[in-house]
Chains A and B, each alone.
Chain A
Amino acid sequence: MAVVGDSGLPHDAGRRDALHHRERLRRKITEQLKERIGEEDIVAAGPDKRIRVPVKGTKRWQFILDRGKGGGVGQGDGEPGDVLGPPGDGSEPGEAGTEPGEEIYEVWLDMEEVEELLFSELELPRLRPRAQADAEATRTIYDDIARKGPQLDKKATLRENLLRNAKMGRPGLGGLEKPDLRYLSYRELPKPHHKAVIFLAMDVSGSMDAGRKRIARLFFYWCVQFLRRRYDQTELVFIAHTTEAREVTEHEFFNRMESGGTRVSSAFETVLEIQQDRFPAEDWNIYVLHVSDGDNFAADNRRTIELVRRLASFCSLVGYLEVDPRAGAGRHKLSAHYQKEVADLEGFVFAAAAEDRALWPALKRFFARDRVEEVVR
Chain B
Amino acid sequence: MTGYTIEDLQEIDERCRTIAADDLGFDVPDVVYHLVRPEEVYFAAANGLPARYSSARWGAQFDAEYGRYQRGESRIYELIFNTSPVHAYLMEGNSLVAQTLVIAHCLGHGWVFEHNRWLGGVDRAIMPRVLAAAERIADYMGAHGRERVEDFLDACHAVAIHQPQAQLIRPAATPEPEPRRSRYDALFPDEVEADRRDVLAERTALRRRFPREPEQDLLGFIERHARGLDDWQRDIMSIVHAEQGYFLPQLRTKLLNEGAAVLCHQEIVQRLFLPSDRYWEYEALNAGVVAPHQGRVNPYNVGIALMREIMRLATEPDDEERERWSWAGETDPFEQVRTVLRDYDDEGLLREFLTPKVCEECRLYAFEHLPRDPRRIRVSSREADAVRDILIPQHSTFGIPRVEIVDADFRGRGELLLAHRHDGIGLDAEYACGTLAQVASLWGKPCTVETVKGRDADTPTWFTGHPDGRAEEHAACPA
Q: Please list the residues of chain A having a beta carbon within 8 angstroms of any beta carbon in chain B.
A: 1-9, 11, 13-24, 27, 58-90, 93-96, 98-101, 103, 146, 163, 166-167
Mark interface residues in B110-136 (1 if CB within 8 Å of A CB, else 0): 000000000000000000100110110
B448 to A: closest C-beta gap in Å: 13
Q: With A4-B32, A61-B438 in contact, is A74–B48 under 8 Å at CB?
A: no
Q: With A21-B56, A93-B61, A167-B128 in contact, is A86–B377 under 8 Å at CB?
A: yes
Mark interface residues in B433-455 (1 if CB within 8 Å of A CB, else 0): 01101100000000001000011
In the assembled complex, which residues on chain B have CB atoms less than 8 Å from the CB atom of A13?
A: 43, 51, 54
Whether A3 and B6, one on each chain, are in contact in the complex, defined by CB atoms closer than 8 angstroms, is yes
Whether A17 and B59, one on each chain, are in contact in the complex, defined by CB atoms closer than 8 angstroms, is yes
Whether A146 and B403, one on each chain, are in contact in the complex, defined by CB atoms closer than 8 angstroms, is no
Partner of B42, one of A14, A24, A64, A75: A14
In the assembled complex, which residues on chain A have CB atoms less than 8 Å from the CB atom of B158?
A: 60-62
When chains A and B are docked, how far (Å) is the Cα of A83 from the Cα of B376?
7
Q: Does B196 lie at the interface of the complex (its beta carbon under 8 Å from any beta carbon of A)?
A: no
Q: Does B282 lie at the interface of the complex (its beta carbon under 8 Å from any beta carbon of A)?
A: no
Among B231-239, B319-327, B333-341, B359-367, the one that faces the other chain is B359-367
By beta carbon, the residue of chain A nearest B371 is: A68
When chains A and B are docked, how far (Å) is the Cα of A72 from the Cα of B391?
7
Q: Which 5 A-B pairs have the closest CB atoms?
A: A68-B374, A14-B43, A17-B59, A21-B59, A75-B292
A117 to B: closest C-beta gap in Å: 15
When chains A and B are docked, how far (Å) is the Cα of A96 from the Cα of B162?
13
Q: Does B18 lie at the interface of the complex (its beta carbon under 8 Å from any beta carbon of A)?
A: no
Q: With A4-B34, A83-B370 in contact, is A17–B142 under 8 Å at CB?
A: no
Q: Of B6, B74, B295, B426, which is in contact with the most chain A CB atoms at under 10 Å from its CB?
A: B295
Whether B454 and A3, one on each chain, are in contact in the complex, defined by CB atoms closer than 8 angstroms, is no
Interface residues of B in 242-264 (CB under 8 A from A): 244, 247-248, 250-251, 254
Whether A88 and B455, one on each chain, are in contact in the complex, defined by CB atoms closer than 8 angstroms, is no
In the assembled complex, which residues on chain A have CB atoms less than 8 Å from the CB atom of B128?
A: 167
Mark interface residues in B283-317 (1 if CB within 8 Å of A CB, else 0): 00000000011111110011000000000000000
In the assembled complex, which residues on chain B have CB atoms less than 8 Å from the CB atom of A79?
A: 379, 382
Whether A77 and B363, one on each chain, are in contact in the complex, defined by CB atoms closer than 8 angstroms, is yes
In the assembled complex, which residues on chain B have CB atoms less than 8 Å from the CB atom of A88?
A: 293-296
Q: Please list the residues of chain B having a beta carbon within 8 angstroms of any beta carbon in chain A.
A: 6, 9-10, 13, 30-37, 39-40, 42-46, 48, 50-51, 54-66, 74, 76, 79, 85, 89-90, 128, 131-132, 134-135, 142, 146-147, 150, 154, 157-159, 161-162, 244, 247-248, 250-251, 254, 292-298, 301-302, 362-371, 374-382, 387, 390-391, 394, 398-401, 403, 420, 425-429, 431-432, 434-435, 437-438, 449, 454-455
When chains A and B are docked, how far (Å) is the Cα of A14 from the Cα of B55?
10
A97 to B: closest C-beta gap in Å: 9
Q: With A6-B36, A67-B428 in contact, is A59–B434 under 8 Å at CB?
A: yes
Whether B46 and A85, one on each chain, are in contact in the complex, defined by CB atoms closer than 8 angstroms, is no
B7 to A: closest C-beta gap in Å: 8
Q: With A75-B297, A75-B364, A86-B375 in contact, is A17–B55 under 8 Å at CB?
A: yes
When chains A and B are docked, how far (Å) is the Cα of A103 from the Cα of B64?
9
When chains A and B are docked, how far (Å) is the Cα of A13 from the Cα of B46?
11
Q: With A3-B33, A146-B142 in contact, is A94–B251 under 8 Å at CB?
A: no
Partner of A9, one of B51, B55, B79: B51
In the assembled complex, which residues on chain A have CB atoms less than 8 Å from the CB atom of B294?
A: 74-77, 84, 88
When chains A and B are docked, how far (Å) is the Cα of A20 from the Cα of B35?
27
Whether A27 and B147, one on each chain, are in contact in the complex, defined by CB atoms closer than 8 angstroms, is yes
By beta carbon, the residue of chain A nearest B401 is: A63
B30 to A: closest C-beta gap in Å: 4
By beta carbon, the residue of chain B nearest A70 is: B425
In the assembled complex, which residues on chain A have CB atoms less than 8 Å from the CB atom of B437?
A: 61
Whether A18 and B63, one on each chain, are in contact in the complex, defined by CB atoms closer than 8 angstroms, is yes
When chains A and B are docked, how far (Å) is the Cα of A24 from the Cα of B378?
39
Whether A67 and B64, one on each chain, are in contact in the complex, defined by CB atoms closer than 8 angstroms, is no
Q: With A14-B59, A87-B296, A163-B135 in contact, is A66–B39 under 8 Å at CB?
A: no
Partner of B390, one of A5, A16, A72, A78: A72
Partner of A17, one of B54, B161, B403: B54
15 sample A-B contacts, Cβ–Cβ < 8 Å, listed by A number: A1-B30, A2-B32, A3-B10, A5-B34, A23-B56, A61-B431, A63-B403, A66-B429, A67-B374, A71-B367, A74-B293, A85-B376, A96-B48, A96-B161, A98-B161
When chains A and B are docked, how far (Å) is the Cα of A6 from the Cα of B429?
45
Whether A93 and B426, one on each chain, are in contact in the complex, defined by CB atoms closer than 8 angstroms, is no
When chains A and B are docked, how far (Å) is the Cα of A176 from the Cα of B201?
68
Whether B46 and A24, one on each chain, are in contact in the complex, defined by CB atoms closer than 8 angstroms, is no
Whether A96 and B297, one on each chain, are in contact in the complex, defined by CB atoms closer than 8 angstroms, is no
Whether B428 and A17, one on each chain, are in contact in the complex, defined by CB atoms closer than 8 angstroms, is no
Whether A82 and B379, one on each chain, are in contact in the complex, defined by CB atoms closer than 8 angstroms, is yes
Given contacts A59-B434, A63-B449, A89-B296, 20 further A-B contacts (CB under 8 A): A2-B32, A3-B10, A6-B36, A9-B50, A18-B60, A20-B150, A60-B157, A63-B403, A69-B454, A72-B367, A73-B364, A74-B295, A74-B364, A74-B365, A75-B365, A80-B381, A84-B294, A93-B42, A96-B48, A99-B399
In the assembled complex, which residues on chain B have CB atoms less than 8 Å from the CB atom of A20?
A: 54-56, 59, 146, 150
B375 to A: closest C-beta gap in Å: 4
By beta carbon, the residue of chain A nearest B375 is: A86
Q: With A27-B147, A73-B364, A93-B45 in contact, is A7–B34 under 8 Å at CB?
A: yes
When chains A and B are docked, how far (Å) is the Cα of A75 from the Cα of B305?
13
In the assembled complex, which residues on chain B have CB atoms less than 8 Å from the CB atom of A60?
A: 57, 154, 157-158
In the assembled complex, which residues on chain B have CB atoms less than 8 Å from the CB atom of A2?
A: 10, 30, 32-33
Partner of A71, one of B85, B301, B369, B438: B369
A13 to B: closest C-beta gap in Å: 6
